[in-house]
Chain A
Amino acid sequence: GQQVMQIPQYQHVQEGEDFTTYCNSSTTLSNIQWYKQRPGGHPVFLIQLVKSGEVKKQKRLTFQFGEAKKNSSLHITATQTTDVGTYFCAGRSGNQFYFGTGTSLTVIP
């Protein structure tokens, strides 16, 4: 069946360091979305990528969608303590969304 894998599962960084999480799907996706979940909270939508090879930026966050529409990445430049949380990718296939396992980011002040 459909699988969306995400690595790493955990990442600890010093404040100011960069952070990247990678998302890989076993099948081609219609689009990919990224969500952030703060500890004890619910997932909050960050961005959606639709086109092959698409790159989008939100301030210090850069999102990429692979050429084959099977992989994606989220890169955070110069992390801040406010970046703490778990980042999930979610791929749409038909009317179903498949979430990655998430990357939990800890930022050490």
Chain B
Amino acid sequence: NAGVTQTPKFQVLKTGQSMTLQCAQDMNHEYMSWYRQDPGMGLRLIHYSVGAGITDQGEVPNGYNVSRSTTEDFPLRLLSAAPSQTSVYFCASSYLGGGTDTQYFGPGTRLTVL
């Protein structure tokens, strides 16, 4: 199993540009989520999904869109990048319930917005 994969690993954008961060998992997990990690602020939940066709907002959803058309994929879209979106982005997946909510994280995407 590849686990959780993310592409790209690094990205530099100019203010106003759009892009999609890709996330895929091969563990048949219902739950997928996107976090951003900023120094001194831990990981903050952007959006999450409990299954294909279902998405919901987390703590910091503004400026980001998501969709979940398949169980495996959960892309994160930045429609008009801003310098405040410079961060490290992690995608994670897990089962829900069943006694454990272990979240498996991808390797991350380091995004810089100029």
Residues of chain A within 8 A (CB-CB) of B108 are: 42
B88 to chain A, nearest CB (A): 9
Residues of chain B within 8 A (CB-CB) of A101 are: 40-42
Q: Flag B93-112 by CB within 8 Å of A: 1 or 0 each.
A: 00010011111111110000
Tell whether, in the assembled complex, residue A95 and residue B50 are in contact, meaning their CB atoms are under 8 Å apart.
yes
Q: Flag B55-67 by CB within 8 Å of A: 1 or 0 each.
A: 0101100000000
- With A33-B101, A95-B48, A95-B96 in contact, is A42–B42 under 8 Å at CB? no
- With A95-B31, A99-B35 in contact, is A48–B102 under 8 Å at CB? yes
- B90, CB-defined interface residue at 8 Å: yes
Residues of chain B within 8 A (CB-CB) of A92 are: 101
A39 to chain B, nearest CB (A): 12
- B43, CB-defined interface residue at 8 Å: yes
Interface size class of A (residues with CB under 8 A): 20 to 34
Tell whether, in the assembled complex, residue B43 and residue A99 are in contact, meaning their CB atoms are under 8 Å apart.
yes
Tell whether, in the assembled complex, residue A96 and residue B58 are in contact, meaning their CB atoms are under 8 Å apart.
yes
- B71, CB-defined interface residue at 8 Å: no
- B45, CB-defined interface residue at 8 Å: yes
Q: Which residues in window 3-45 of A have CB below 8 A to B?
A: 4, 6, 9, 31, 33, 35, 41-45
How far is B32's CA from A95's CA once the two chains are assembled, in angstroms? 11
Which of B50, B56, B101 has the most CB atoms of chain A within a 10 A radius of its CB? B101
B25 to chain A, nearest CB (A): 13
Residues of chain B within 8 A (CB-CB) of A31 are: 101
Please name the residue on chain A nearest to B90 by beta carbon: A42
Residues of chain A within 8 A (CB-CB) of B43 are: 43, 88, 90, 99
- A109, CB-defined interface residue at 8 Å: no
21 A-B pairs (CB sep. < 8 Å)? A1-B59, A6-B42, A41-B107, A42-B107, A43-B105, A48-B100, A48-B101, A50-B99, A88-B42, A95-B31, A95-B48, A95-B56, A95-B96, A96-B58, A97-B45, A98-B59, A99-B42, A100-B42, A101-B41, A101-B42, A102-B42
